[in-house]
Structure 1
């Protein structure tokens, strides 16, 4: 496909005032007008003949088989020109709504007429994404014509939760001592497991003295404990319409799923059992708690089944169904979202009821746009009004979180880029304090 460039349009358009100027200056000089048009057409045809033909350009595409949500990937295009001409080639990729529209890329062929062009891909949400076609455009040597080539791709890519972040977490905790230190960690408190007896020495906690065995052995003995394992942890995800809102380019639900998978790997490696529970207007996903690092793929599959829902979340149905399925005290990590104190009343009531028997970690994502709106200089009346409204939202958010803390619920309100490490650190703190 051949199209004229803006330079060619200017070249032909310049002939109109030039023709009027020639005819006004000397009517007998009219043969110069068709001569100019003839030279312009000849230059256009010459540029077409000298330009790189689409048949001499070999194009190979190598799309990634999997795309991780929240992590940009590259789509490689290999170009090879079977001629001595090496034009500057523009590339543009057509994708469906699952992916962000890639930016236009300009490629320069090397001395051998080859180029490897990376095109950035970024997913908006999980599911199946499709790369439809690739557009290539280059100019002729004179810059008067554009050569256009369309390469159909029709490649389908699976968009999954960010497993790469889980792999990085796996490397961070590859050392068996990463969770508990180099030496065995002996912790005291309710629910900890008895390890052994040892002679009491100054500096040990007197409350650990076992008076019965001390009287029998005529020597002060104290108990040593070890950290409990085999705790039951449930990753509860709110999949309602508020979790569909984008934050840092992807939905809040995807941020929650990525962080949940990171925590799932760490907890499975620590010897605990992990289950997945998803709900909105009704219960969507139920995965019973399982243990063993080899079972992580089951947790990943259950998290992948969490779909985006336009429904409003029914906390009464969802949390009561979750409580009915638990037969022992568990750590429930509830990742959800709310707007204000009025819409959060039913959520507060059901979370407080759930916290009466279980340990509940309430996790929500902080929107940095609200903080920026509050801190922005009030240079106009509209900016001031938006700042006041944003501050009211933040105040009501703090009220809801403070009410939950007073009811014994552990709360975590962090930015999207901090949710993974913050969630793991809070989980380790809860285990260290033997709260489960």
Structure 2
């Protein structure tokens, strides 16, 4: 496709009044206007001929970018001119709105016949997406004619969970083991599994002294324990309507998935087994407790299948179905949020039945926007109403949390970006206290 640039249009528009005045001034001068049009058309044709050929432009092996929710990424393309090339070109990329393209039109230089395009993107929602079309245009040396070529991409770009954040946080939390290298070790110390007897030393817990064996050998001996392994840890994710609402830069469910995967990594690293369970109005996904070298990769793939939902979470059905699947006592980590007293009442009832047999960690996200509404100094009547409403929501949440604590449920409340670390600390604390 070849069409005039803005410069050509302005030049043509500037010459039209002059040609009209010349035609009015004299009968033979109207030919000057015709000559002006012909000169402009010839200049357009010459500029189009001197510009890079459309047939000589090719797109080199386009690849689908890696896209993760709430993480800056880029869609990169490389173009090549086989013959004469322009100095610069402009490009536009068409794709799904889910990808969050940040720049509509990109201008790039052409060096040695090659041009590199880098379109920044920041996806806000997980799910399937596509890059559909790449438009490229450039001008000749006179800047009078645009030459455009369209490339059909048809690239599938699934927007996944931000696993880089999970990996970086896991490396930070477990970096203390890096200097020792990979090795098999026994975690000796606190735990419930008996390991061996050793001489009692100053500073050891006196409750660990084995008095019978000490009397037999005439020396103080203490019991040494080994940390128990192979516990079942189930990550129950509420993916209902309330969890699909945004909190900060991403929906709540994406924060919960990131925190859950980080906790799963810690559990698998500690020798325990981890599994995923998600529900909204009905159970949607269940992996069971997984272990082994491929367990974390499987959990990553299954977490990518958790979709956003517009349905209310049915805690009774979801948690009852989870209880029916578990054949042994497990640690159940529930990632959820609640918005009204009715759903909270049903949730407390369902969690209470589950806590009779299993150990429960209840994870909720701290809503900084709600806290800001409560603490902000009001300047209008609307600010007062907003603060009163936010305060009532906060009191209802605190009441629900206190009732859950009385049921023996362990509560973790943290900011969205610290959810995984807070859940790991709670898990390690329970493991240290031999409550699993």
User: What TM-score bracket applies, with the shorter chain setting the length?
Assistant: 0.7 to 0.9
- CA-to-partner distance for each residue in 1:113-169, whole Å, 9 max, x for gaps? 212222334444444332212111223333333222110111223444444445546
Provide the residue aligned with 2:109 in structure 1: 108
Provide the residue aligned with 2:142 in structure 1: 142
- CA-to-partner distance for each residue in 1:279-300, whole Å, 9 max, x for gaps? 2211222222132234333333
Give 1:373 shift. Answer: 5.2
* Mean CA deviation greater in 14-23 or 238-247: 14-23
Provide the residue aligned with 2:190 in structure 1: 187
* Residues 301/41 of structure 1: CA separation in 2 closer, same or farther (3 Å cut): closer
Structure-2 separation of matches of 1:255 and 1:124: 12
Structure-2 separation of matches of 1:374 and 1:40: 67
- CA-to-partner distance for each residue in 1:34-69, whole Å, 9 max, x for gaps? 444444434333333332231122222422375444
Structure-2 separation of matches of 1:207 and 1:30: 113
Structure-2 separation of matches of 1:408 and 1:12: 82
Structure-2 separation of matches of 1:183 and 1:256: 31
* Residues 381/169 of structure 1: CA separation in 2 closer, same or farther (3 Å cut): closer
* Residues 65/140 of structure 1: CA separation in 2 closer, same or farther (3 Å cut): closer
* Residues 379/81 of structure 1: CA separation in 2 closer, same or farther (3 Å cut): farther
SS at match of 1:288: coil
Provide the residue aligned with 1:203 in structure 2: 203
Structure-2 separation of matches of 1:113 and 1:180: 52
**Alpha-carbon contact 1:93-1:102 (below 8 Å) kept:** no
**Alpha-carbon contact 2:332-2:360 (below 8 Å) kept:** yes
* Residues 69/226 of structure 1: CA separation in 2 closer, same or farther (3 Å cut): same
Structure-2 separation of matches of 1:127 and 1:323: 29
Structure-1 separation of matches of 2:377 and 2:44: 56
- CA-to-partner distance for each residue in 1:236-295, whole Å, 9 max, x for gaps? 111222222244554332332233223222211211011221222112222221322343
Give 1:181 shift. Answer: 13
- CA-to-partner distance for each residue in 1:289-314, whole Å, 9 max, x for gaps? 13223433333343334333332111
Structure-1 separation of matches of 2:55 and 2:129: 29
* Residues 220/85 of structure 1: CA separation in 2 closer, same or farther (3 Å cut): closer
* Residues 113/387 of structure 1: CA separation in 2 closer, same or farther (3 Å cut): farther
SS at match of 2:299: helix
Provide the residue aligned with 2:120 in structure 1: 120
Give 1:17 shift. Answer: 4.9
Provide the residue aligned with 1:263 in structure 2: 263
* Residues 178/424 of structure 1: CA separation in 2 closer, same or farther (3 Å cut): farther
**Alpha-carbon contact 1:269-1:293 (below 8 Å) kept:** no
Give 1:109 shift. Answer: 0.8
**Alpha-carbon contact 2:187-2:227 (below 8 Å) kept:** no
Alignment pair present for 1:287 and 2:290: no
* Residues 312/197 of structure 1: CA separation in 2 closer, same or farther (3 Å cut): same
Structure-1 separation of matches of 2:47 and 2:81: 18
* Residues 228/39 of structure 1: CA separation in 2 closer, same or farther (3 Å cut): same
Q: How many residue pairs end up in the alignment?
A: 431
SS at match of 2:55: helix
Aligned 1:37-436 pairs, distance under 5 A? 37-64=37-64, 67-101=67-101, 103=103, 104-110=105-111, 112-165=112-165, 167-168=167-168, 171=171, 173=174, 175=177, 184-187=187-190, 192-371=192-371, 382=382, 385-386=385-386, 388-436=388-436
Unpaired runs of 5+ residues, structure 1, are: none
**Alpha-carbon contact 1:165-1:262 (below 8 Å) kept:** no
Structure-1 separation of matches of 2:377 and 2:34: 63
- CA-to-partner distance for each residue in 1:69-90, whole Å, 9 max, x for gaps? 4444433211122334423222
Structure-2 separation of matches of 1:35 and 1:290: 81
* Mean CA deviation greater in 308-317 or 9-18: 9-18
SS at match of 1:343: helix
- CA-to-partner distance for each residue in 1:189-242, whole Å, 9 max, x for gaps? xxx122223333443222223333334344433322222211110011112222
Structure-1 separation of matches of 2:353 and 2:389: 31
- CA-to-partner distance for each residue in 1:84-120, whole Å, 9 max, x for gaps? 442322222222344223523221111x121222233
Structure-2 separation of matches of 1:369 and 1:49: 59
Give 1:170 shift. Answer: 6.4
Structure-2 separation of matches of 1:213 and 1:269: 35
* Residues 344/10 of structure 1: CA separation in 2 closer, same or farther (3 Å cut): farther
**Alpha-carbon contact 1:65-1:158 (below 8 Å) kept:** no
* Residues 367/34 of structure 1: CA separation in 2 closer, same or farther (3 Å cut): farther
Unpaired runs of 5+ residues, structure 2, are: none
SS at match of 1:344: helix
Structure-2 separation of matches of 1:180 and 1:367: 41
